[in-house]
């Protein structure tokens, strides 16, 4: 089989290197494709010439562009990976789908508005393109263990899923997506929520996000979901500011509790009848045994291939992102739904946009969501809510 020709949009600069403004996710994506036997990296694009030049040099990519549209036109790409900030996701997905690629892999969170999110999925369906998002938390070994325990009925019937995070959507999308993973990707049917714009933090990303929020919703199978968000991502880390509430995603069942991701704790733990009423930890050290040889080696090779970079402290994260890329390539080969499909991403995105809308409406929002904007952004633009600058 001929290899899939891969092009990357938004090369950035590697995390913590000189001039880096973000995480340089493109390098981690590139690593996944480079380690996939079915792919070859052929092109990359970034607005900044210097960024694309050094990216192509480091990843041995033949063709660099400063205009992604030119790349789509000139290269006969099979897979496009998008690693830019969310306002650009939709035009890039639409352009790549129309250019005739087979698959598009895009960074989270999905989109800037609900209309954009729906359009991304619709356009890809129309053109027969596989669409995936980088919700890599589905590949954390402990999170998969939590799901396996739930599926085996270890805590009886799930009643409620609670997530705690630093914000609602920019980073919170990871935990919201994981809530849907835990509940078999069943859609939600109503949402009530409230947001506080909070302050623009010191390390604030170039995207407005809430400072604090709560979202309460019900999945169509009756399970309740609750998201507690506080802190502002990057100021407080992924978990937000919840001393004492240390689980990222907690599932409460009729016979016990399972936590997926514990701050400074195990990736999975369970308390219930089966554990004699005490917490039992399931630990997954970063290793070939936890991740599987292929994924583990792919992560390790990033350090080999990009010497001098500072990815070492984030190796499990690198492995999860590689696992997601291997999954989307396998889905492309077999025609099955990928783990992080656009359809699945839509479900958690809808809850996030419905939470903003509930705050604007001061009421319950029944789904499907019937407004197309991002109510939080609209309220900011209209001056209905305001964000102050945090103290430096
Ligand atoms: N999955 C994760 O764990 C994770 C972690 C961090 C960031 N992210 C997400 O990744 C995305 C990118 O973040 P980052 O920190 O890697 O970004 P970054 O700032 O490191 O790089 C983005 C690059 O995109 C380029 N760019 C912007 N507009 C462009 C255009 N029109 N054409 C071509 N290039 C363009 C910029 O020049 C920049 O070099 C964001 O959506 C962010 O939320 C995901």
Residue 256 included in any domain: yes
Residue 233 in this model has a pLDDT that exceeds 60: no
The alpha carbon of 339 and the centre of ligand 1 are apart by a number of angstroms equal to: 22
- What average pLDDT does the structure give for the chain? 93
Protein residue closest via CA to atom 7 of ligand 1: 23
Residue 111 in this model has a pLDDT that exceeds 60: yes
Same domain, 83 and 206: no
Q: How far apart are CA 164 and CA 182, in angstroms?
A: 15
- In the prediction, which pLDDT does 14 show? 72
- In the prediction, which pLDDT does 234 show? 52
Domain boundary among 256, 282, 308: 282
CATH number at residue 201: 3.30.360.10
Choose the weakest-confidence range: 28-42, 198-212, 286-300, 365-379: 198-212
- In the prediction, which pLDDT does 202 show? 47
Same domain, 12 and 133: yes
Same domain, 78 and 163: no
Average pLDDT estimate for 85-96: 97
Residue 363 included in any domain: no
Residue 131, CA distances (Å) to 197, 235, 328, 357 in order: 31, 31, 9, 26
Residue 239 in this model has a pLDDT that exceeds 90: no
Same domain, 253 and 149: yes
Domains identified in the chain, total number: 2
Same domain, 253 and 324: no
Same domain, 209 and 84: no
107 lines ligand 1 (CB under 6 A): yes
pLDDT tens digits for 159-178? 999 999 988 999 899 999 99
pLDDT tens digits for 112-140? 999 999 999 999 999 999 999 999 999 99
Residue 276 included in any domain: yes
CATH number at residue 39: 3.40.50.720
- In the prediction, which pLDDT does 390 show? 67
Residue 130 phi, psi dihedral angles, 5° rounding: -75, 125
- In the prediction, which pLDDT does 305 show? 83
Ligand 1 pocket test, candidate residues 20, 50, 107, most atoms within 8 A of CB: 107
Same domain, 275 and 145: yes
Residue 122 included in any domain: yes
- In the prediction, which pLDDT does 24 show? 86
Same domain, 13 and 111: yes
Residue 387 included in any domain: no
pLDDT tens digits for 35-88? 999 999 999 999 999 999 999 999 999 999 999 999 999 999 999 999 999 999
Query: Comparing 235 with 23, which gets the higher pLDDT?
Result: 23
- Can you read off the two tokens belonging to residue 334? 């077999």
pLDDT tens digits for 179-229? 999 999 999 999 999 999 887 764 556 788 888 999 999 999 999 999 999
Domain boundary among 282, 303, 318: 282
Residue 41, CA distances (Å) to 4, 30, 34, 297 in order: 8, 7, 7, 19
Same domain, 220 and 261: yes
Same domain, 151 and 235: yes
Strand order in the sheet with 79-82: 63-65, 39-45, 4-9, 79-82, 103-106, 130-133
338 lines ligand 1 (CB under 6 A): no
Choose the weakest-confidence range: 22-26, 289-293, 325-329: 22-26
| Residue 317 Cα: closest atom of ligand 1 | 3
The alpha carbon of 373 and the centre of ligand 1 are apart by a number of angstroms equal to: 22
Same domain, 331 and 215: no
Q: Which domain holds residue 22?
A: 4-137+294-341
Residue 379 included in any domain: no
Average pLDDT estimate for 16-37: 87
Same domain, 52 and 87: yes
Contacts (Cβ under 8 Å, ≥6 apart) of 57: none
Residue 362 included in any domain: no
| Residue 66 Cα: closest atom of ligand 1 | 33
Residue 281 in this model has a pLDDT that exceeds 90: yes
Residue 35 included in any domain: yes
- In the prediction, which pLDDT does 391 show? 62
């Amino acid at each position: 089989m001929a290899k899939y020709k891969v092009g990357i949009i938004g090369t950035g600069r590697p995390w913590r290197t000189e001039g880096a403004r973000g995480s340089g996710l493109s390098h981690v994506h590139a690593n996944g494709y480079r380690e996939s036997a079915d792919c070859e990296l052929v092109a990359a694009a970034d607005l900044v010439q210097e960024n694309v030049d050094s990216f192509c040099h480091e990843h041995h990519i033949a063709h660099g562009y400063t205009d992604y549209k030119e790349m789509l036109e000139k290269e006969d790409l099979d897979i496009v990976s998008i690693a830019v900030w969310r306002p650009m996701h939709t035009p890039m997905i639409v352009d790549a789908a129309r250019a005739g690629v087979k698959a598009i892999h895009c960074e989270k969170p999905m989109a800037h508005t609900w209309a954009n999110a729906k359009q991304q999925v619709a356009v890809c369906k129309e053109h027969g393109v596989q669409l995936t998002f980088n919700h890599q938390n589905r590949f954390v070994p402990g999170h998969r263990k939590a799901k396996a325990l739930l599926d085996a009925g270890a805590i009886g019937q799930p009643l409620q899923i609670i997530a705690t995070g630093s914000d609602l959507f920019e980073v919170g999308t990871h935990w919201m997506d994981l809530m849907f993973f835990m509940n078999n990707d069943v859609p939600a049917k109503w949402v009530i929520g409230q947001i506080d714009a909070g302050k623009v933090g010191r390390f604030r990303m170039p995207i407005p996000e809430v400072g604090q929020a709560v979202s309460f919703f019900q999945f169509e199978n009756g399970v309740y979901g609750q998201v507690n968000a506080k802190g502002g991502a990057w100021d407080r880390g992924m978990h937000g500011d919840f001393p004492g509430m240390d689980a990222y995603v907690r599932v409460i069942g009729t016979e016990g509790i399972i936590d997926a991701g514990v701050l400074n704790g195990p990736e999975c733990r369970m308390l219930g009848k089966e554990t004699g009423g005490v917490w039992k930890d399931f630990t997954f050290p970063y290793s070939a045994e936890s991740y599987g040889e292929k994924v583990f080696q792919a992560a390790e090779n990033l350090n080999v291939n990009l010497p001098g970079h500072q990815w070492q402290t984030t190796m499990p994260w690198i492995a999860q992102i590689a696992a997601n890329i291997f999954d989307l390539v396998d889905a492309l080969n077999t025609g099955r739904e990928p783990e992080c499909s656009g359809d699945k991403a839509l479900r958690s995105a809808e809850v996030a946009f419905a939470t903003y809308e509930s705050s604007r409406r001061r009421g319950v929002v029944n789904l499907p969501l019937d407004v197309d904007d991002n109510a939080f952004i609209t309220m900011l633009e209209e001056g209905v809510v305001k964000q102050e600058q945090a103290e430096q």
